[in-house]
Amino acid sequence: MHGLLLTGEGLVGGALLVVLVVLAATFIRRRLIARGKPLTVCALREPTDKRWRFGLARYGTTGLEWFTLGGLSLRPARRWERTALDMGTGRPLMPSERRETLIPSALKVDCCYGQENFEIALAQAPYTALRSWLEAAPPGPNVYVA
């Protein structure tokens, strides 16, 4: 009986250790992805997708990058250059989509990047920040300043 108790304690302890390692890896990955730049939870849906995919959106000087929420990769799954990205107006999600995104009061935004169309869903405050960031883009390299 004593050996069985130790085995059970070992299994519970091992499971807790695995959970702690996963949480620590997720936290460290998020910090490494952010690198001091704005980062927000964002859902992405491409025309071929039926469901939203959760991820992290990071915007820097030259572009918007989207990272999958799970995994170990520190490289963005998608990247869109700031000068070629066009965002539509944010509008509330349909009731059937709200359960799918799990982002409180999320807005759905149609986006266009060259010939590519996709949708993102994000909360109101990150949408406003992303819209401001996009509209505040500096002039192109061929603009002459007097």
Task: Tell me: do 42 and 30 sit in the same domain.
Answer: no
The pTM assigned to this predicted structure is 0.80
Task: Tell me: do 65 and 21 sit in the same domain.
Answer: no
Tell me if 18 is assigned to some domain. yes
pLDDT at 88: 93
What residue numbers bound the domain in which 6 lies? 1-34
Tell me if 140 is assigned to some domain. no
CATH of the domain at 70: 2.30.29.30
Task: Tell me: do 58 and 84 sit in the same domain.
Answer: yes
Task: Tell me: do 81 and 121 sit in the same domain.
Answer: yes
Which segments of the chain have a pLDDT < 70? 1-6, 100-101, 137-146
Two tokens, residue 91? 């509008």
Assign residue 61 a region (left: φ > 0; alpha: ψ between -120 and 50; beta: otherwise): alpha
Tell me if 55 is assigned to some domain. yes
Task: Tell me: do 5 and 61 sit in the same domain.
Answer: no
Task: Tell me: do 2 and 57 sit in the same domain.
Answer: no
Which one, of 49, 65, 59, lies nearest residue 117 by Cα?
49
pLDDT at 137: 67
User: What are 14-43's pLDDT values in tens digits?
Assistant: 899 999 999 998 899 999 998 888 899 999
